[in-house]
Structure formats: structure tokens, C-alpha cells
Amino acid sequence: MTGLLRARLIVQRTRFRLDAALHAEPGEVVALLGPNGAGKTTALRALAGLTPLSVGHIVVDVRQLHDQPPERRPVGVVFQDYLLFPHLSALENVAFGPRCRGEGRAQARRTAMRWLTRMGLAEYAHVRPDRLSGGQAQRVALARALAAEPRLLLLDEPLAALDAHTRLEVRAALRRHLEGFDGACVLVTHDPLDAMVLADRLVVVEEGRIVQEGAPPEVARRPRTPYVARLVGLNLYRGVADGYTVAIAPVDGAASGTFTLNAAEAQTGPVFVAFPPSAVALYRTRPNGTPRNLWRTVIDGLERHGDSVRVHLGGPLPAAADVTAAAVAELDLVPGRTVWAAVKATETHAYPA
Amino acid sequence: MLLVPALTGLAFLVLPVAGLLFAAPWTTLPARLAEPAVLEALRLSLVSATIATALCLLLGVPLAWLLARTDFPGRRLVRALITVPLVLPPVVGGVALLLVFGRQGPAGRWLEEAFGVTLPFTTAGVVVAEAFVAMPFLVISVEGALRGADRRFEEVAATLGASRWTTFRRVTLPLIAPGVTAGAVLCWSRALGEFGATITFAGNFPGTTQTMPLAVYLALETDPQAAIVLSLLLLAASVAVLAALRERWVSTP
């Protein structure tokens, strides 16, 4: 197995265990995506050497790093709050890495100036960090990490400290800068949009374990856990397929007994079935028409969702349905109301579990 | 009900200082300050307190780092030992120093045989006595600053390739500079006022070991006016220290 980064990270705590195998190619951006407390940041700190591994290995460029202290690893980190040294100017912050690598003062400052220019921050070289905006501080932090010439770049929630407006700009700029980096990059985020825009590959971490890996479109289309399904906005079920029909395993909170869905693809054995909330149609009375998935259910709740209204449906198949505000009024959809839900087989997507 | 004792307490603290200012021979003050004996004591005090502070910085900052940043068995005991000179009567400190660094003491004999250095009753002895008494102030102040500093900056430095020493020098120390300064000023003022340990360990020889506080005590017997002048100088030094630290100590939240 080749790759710039190969790692098996095991960190054992009293009430938490991280066990994740990670790899990355040169130029590849891998996003660790997961809910808070999933162990993403622990994984990042372990790669940087700031948290010791209980067991495992970290190899970068065929060099074993796991027994090296942080300062001996070719690993750069952009921390969540950027953590620019408050007593140094932007230029001196960026020059810190080159200085530690043995460059002279003047040479290090030239290197730093080159990086700041590349980030479009040349005129802020002599400004103290507390005078920089969030987006500027983020770019200085990125320049500082890259100026130390790491082979592996780690970004911890790179956009979390920014407001929604700057986030949009910084995300696009960050993507450009990462494209110019020839080492491997691992970024940690809980925001699926950041992950989809910035990463070539997603690694979803839940409770210290990797639950799904793949290219962003693949993960978005074929979620494998309820968490991922929620992130990408799909209804997701586990079941057993026999041709075009899938017997859905009872979902938590739903009445027991099997529920059968008709899928577009023929599969055999354990499968996932996913369909978007927009594929669910709601009726007050049983509709007539073509064969499709049709069931009677009760409305649990409603909430605004962009331009439409998201209707949460209870058993036997808990699902979210997106309908227009007009439909809500017309059908008088209120919590507790019994309705008929329908999903065309062609709108569902079944794939092996 | 509380007002009477409160005002009495205030008067108790303020009146002696006011009395000192009132009794001062203001007209002859410049002439008296220019007296060689006064200047000699002043010079010796400033020099020895400054060298003692430098010594405390050199040894105390690493000691504070050890206490704040590492974990070793007996760390709590070490911290307790460091605070002993704070509560120890200075005279007892002087006696202890004499026992160890005196000519017959184990460390003193070694110093004399190996380097030909004798500490008791020399200016170097003054510095040692002052450093002994003042160092806890510095160590405690710097340790507090280290514990309050954001350690993530040290992690950042490490990921940028900085060794522990570079990190300490270029990141930690600048970040805790205010704490170090405050500790040093406190340490210096304590050294400047040191009396008991100095007179016990270094004696009271004009020009070599007679610092301001010793001169004040001696002058009180022979020339009370001179004692007042010297006291005014020490008071001025204390006020200067207070002014330097006003941000940290005087202003309460």
C-alpha cells in the first residue's frame, strides 16, 4: 500500500476510544466529518503528535512519525482559533517556522513575505494579530503552517470561527490555496458543506470509528448511517432486498412488523434504501393510481425548511417529507393528522449495506 | 459600627508614613542626600538588590517552569519548600545561610577550597541573603503567569518545528512577560528592604555590606535626622514599585 500518509490511530481514554485508519495521497484533501465528540480533533492531534497514540502507527513519506515529537514531524497545523502568536506581527508569525528550520532572520522574513503576498496579505505584514479580521487571521495561520514546508497539513475546523458571510469567501479562497499544496491535507469539520467543497474524499467518524468513506458525491448519494443521511438530507432505511422489494427492518420508535418498499434497482440481501424528502407526496385520502409505495401515517411535526415545509411523519416508516406551504394550507396538515404518504419507486435508491 | 475600627486602621497605616514626611528635614535634605555615607549605602543597596534580582530571575524562572509545566513525584513538597523563606523570620534565614555557607559550613568550605570565595560578611553575601529571601516572590509570580498562559501557543510552536527551548524563549517567555516583570519588581523591592538575613549573614560593614535598611537602623542610634533621610529614600523606592505595579495590584476589579 502506497500513499503519502498511512496511519492507524488508536487513542484509548477512560470513556472513549478512537480507532481509525487514515491514508492520503499527495495533493489529496481528506475531510474528517463527524458530530461533536466523535474524535475528529483527537485524530488530528494524534497526527500532529500533540496527543500520544495508545497503539498504532503514522507514516508520512515512508518515514515513521509516531515515535517522533511534534517538532520533528513534517506536519503543519491550522488550529481552530488560528492561535497566531499575539506578541508577533503577521510577518513574524509566518517567519517562525522557517526560523525553526534553520533559516537566518532575513531569509526567513523573505520567505514569510512571499507567503503573505501569495495570500494577498502583503500590506498586513507588520500588523499584530489582534488587528486582523477573522478571514485575514485564517490566511495568516495557513501561511504560517505552509511556510514551515509540511508534507502533511492539518486543518481543525478551518471555517468555524468565521461569520456566515466571510465563510463563503474564505471557503473558496481556502480551496484555491489547498489546490496549490502538493502534500496531503486532512481537515476536520462538522459542516458537510465545508467538507463537500474542500475535500476530495470524506471520512465520516462517529464515536471514534470510521463509519463511511468515499468521494463527496458518493457519500451524499449513498449515506450509510443516520447521521450522514441527516447531513445530506435523505431518508435512510436498512432492510433486506429480494429483487425490487425491500423488507425494512423496524426503525427505533416505530411499530414492529415489516414494512415493504418497492425500489428502482433490483438487489439481494442486506441493503440501504434512501430517498429525498422532496420525493414524498402527501394526501388526505387514499389516492388512486400507478403502483407505488403508499402508506398511512401520522404527522409528528412541521418546520420551515428553506422555501418549503418539512413534515415529520411517524410510523410505520418514520420519514421527512418536503411540501409547499400552499399544500400545508390546502391539506390542513397539522401535527396528529392522519395522512397518506406516497413515494415513487423510481425516486428511491437501494444499495448494498 | 465598623466605621470606627476601619478609620482607626486607616490612620494606623497612614499616620506613621505621614509622620515620616512631616519630620523630614526638608531644607537640609539635598545636602544630607549628598553625604558620602548615604550615597555609599544607597549605591550598595541598589547594586546588591539588582544583582540579587538577576540571580533570582536566572534560577527562579526555570524553577517556576519546572513547577508549572512538569509533573514529578514530590512536586507539591518542592513548592511548599520554596515558600518557606516567605514565612521564615529573616533572621532565621540568616542563621541558616551562615550554617551552610559560612566558613565552617559544608557549602561554604567547598566554595572556599574550590574557588577561594567566601560569602559571609562580603557584598556577595548580601546578594545571597537578599536572593534567598526574595526568590519565592519571583517563583510564585512566574509560576502563576505560566499556569495562566495558554499552552496551545506552545503546541503551535512545536508543530512549527520549535524545540522546547526555542518555544520557551520565543513564545512562552514573551507571553508571560508581564508576570515576570511583576515578579521581578516585587523581588527587587523585597531585596531592597531586606534587613534580618543580611545583618545576620553578611554583617554591617559600611561600604561592603551596610545596605540602606542597616544604615537606617544604625543611624537611628547616632544621627536620627540621617535615619529619616534614608527612610525617605526607601519610601520613595517603595512608592515607585507601587506605581510600577499599580495595574496589577492596586486596582481591584
**Position B32 in a domain:** no
Please report the pLDDT score of residue B180 as a whole number: 92
Please report the pLDDT score of residue B253 as a whole number: 42
Q: How confident is the model at residue B61 (pLDDT cuts 50, 70, 90)?
A: very high
Q: In this predicted model, what pLDDT tens digit does every residue of B179-218 receive, in sequence order?
A: 899 899 989 999 998 999 999 999 888 888 888 899 888 8
Residue B52 has pLDDT above 50, yes or no: yes
Most A-contacting residue of B150, B151, B160, B165 (CB-CB within 10 A), to test interface: B160
Q: Is the CB of A115 inside 8 Å of chain B's CB atoms? A: no
**Position B185 in a domain:** yes
Domain of B123, in residue numbers: 37-245
- The domain spanning residue B51 has which CATH number? 1.10.3720.10
Contact A148 B160 (CB under 8 A): yes
H, E, C per residue of A25-94: CCCCEEEEECCCCCCHHHHHHHHHCCCCCCEEEEEECCEECCCCCHHHCCEEEECCCCCCCCCCCHHHHH
Contact B160 A97 (CB under 8 A): yes
**Position B156 in a domain:** yes
Burial of residue A14 (number of CB atoms within 10 Å: 0-12, 13-18, 19+): exposed
Q: Is the CB of B116 inside 8 Å of chain A's CB atoms? A: no
CA gap A240, B244 in Å, rounded: 77
Please report the pLDDT score of residue A141 as a whole number: 94
Q: Contact, A76 vs A145, CB < 8 A?
A: yes
Q: How confident is the model at residue B147 (pLDDT cuts 50, 70, 90)?
A: very high
Dihedral (CA of A332, A335, A339, A342) sign? positive
Those of residues 125-184 in A touching chain B at CB distance below 8 A are 144-145, 148
Chain B residues lying within 8 Å of A69, measured CB to CB: 158
Q: Contact, A6 vs A184, CB < 8 A?
A: no
Q: Which residue of A has its CA nearest to B175?
A: A87
Using the CB atoms, write b or e for A88-107: b if 16+ within 10 Å: bbbbbbbbbbbbbeebeeee
Please report the pLDDT score of residue B245 as a whole number: 75
Q: In this predicted model, what pLDDT tens digit does every residue of A121-167 receive, in sequence order?
A: 999 999 999 999 988 999 999 999 999 999 999 999 988 888 888 88
**Position B10 in a domain:** no
- Cell numbers 507539591: residue: B76
CA gap B243, B253 in Å, rounded: 18
Q: In this predicted model, what pLDDT tens digit does every residue of B79-97 receive, in sequence order?
A: 899 988 888 999 999 999 9
B129-155 mean pLDDT: 93
Give the gap in angstroms from C-alpha B157 to the nearest C-alpha of chain A.
8
List the grid coordinates of B16. 506613621
Give the gap in angstroms from C-alpha B187 to the nearest C-alpha of chain A.
25
Please report the pLDDT score of residue A332 as a whole number: 82
Q: Provide φ and ψ at B167, rounded to 5°.
A: -60, -45
**Position B229 in a domain:** yes
Least confident of B28-32, B35-39, B131-135, B249-253: B249-253
The amino acid at B157: A
Could you say which of A76, A86, A87 has the minimum Cβ distance to residue B159? A76
Q: Minimal CA–CA distance to B37: which of B219, B198, B159, B251?
A: B219
Q: Contact, A320 vs A311, CB < 8 A?
A: yes
- Number of folded domains that form chain B: 1
Please report the pLDDT score of residue B249 as a whole number: 52
Residue B67 has pLDDT above 70, yes or no: yes
* pTM, to two decimals: 0.80
Q: CB under 8 Å to A129, separation ≥6 — which residues?
A: A82, A84, A85, A86, A88, A90, A93, A137, A140
Most B-contacting residue of A73, A84, A96 (CB-CB within 10 A), to test interface: A96
CA gap B23, A345 in Å, rounded: 104
Chain B residues lying within 8 Å of A144, measured CB to CB: 160
CA gap A56, A66 in Å, rounded: 8
**Position B23 in a domain:** no
List the grid coordinates of B71. 509533573
ipTM score of the complex? Answer: 0.80
In Å, how far from its chain's centre is CA A350? 23
**Position B210 in a domain:** yes
DSSP assignment string, A182-248: -SEEEEEES-HHHHHHH-SEEEEEETTEEEEEE-HHHHHHS--SHHHHHHHT-EEEEEEEEEEEEEE
The amino acid at A147: A
Q: Which residue of B has its CA nearest to A79?
A: B156
**Sequential pLDDT tens for chain A (353 residues):** 568 899 899 999 888 999 999 999 998 999 999 888 888 999 999 999 999 999 999 999 888 998 899 999 999 999 988 999 999 999 999 999 999 988 999 999 999 999 999 888 999 999 999 999 988 999 999 999 999 999 999 999 988 888 888 888 888 888 888 888 989 999 999 888 888 888 999 999 999 999 999 998 888 888 888 888 888 888 888 888 887 888 787 665 555 556 788 887 888 888 888 888 888 888 888 877 765 788 888 888 888 887 888 888 887 788 888 888 888 888 888 888 888 888 888 888 888 87
Please report the pLDDT score of residue B251 as a whole number: 46
CA gap A271, A238 in Å, rounded: 6
Q: Contact, B98 vs B200, CB < 8 A?
A: yes
CA gap A110, A177 in Å, rounded: 20
Three-state DSSP class for residue B209: coil
Please report the pLDDT score of residue A251 as a whole number: 62
Domains of chain A, first to last: 5-221 (3.40.50.300), 233-352 (2.40.50.100)
The amino acid at B181: T
**Position B8 in a domain:** no
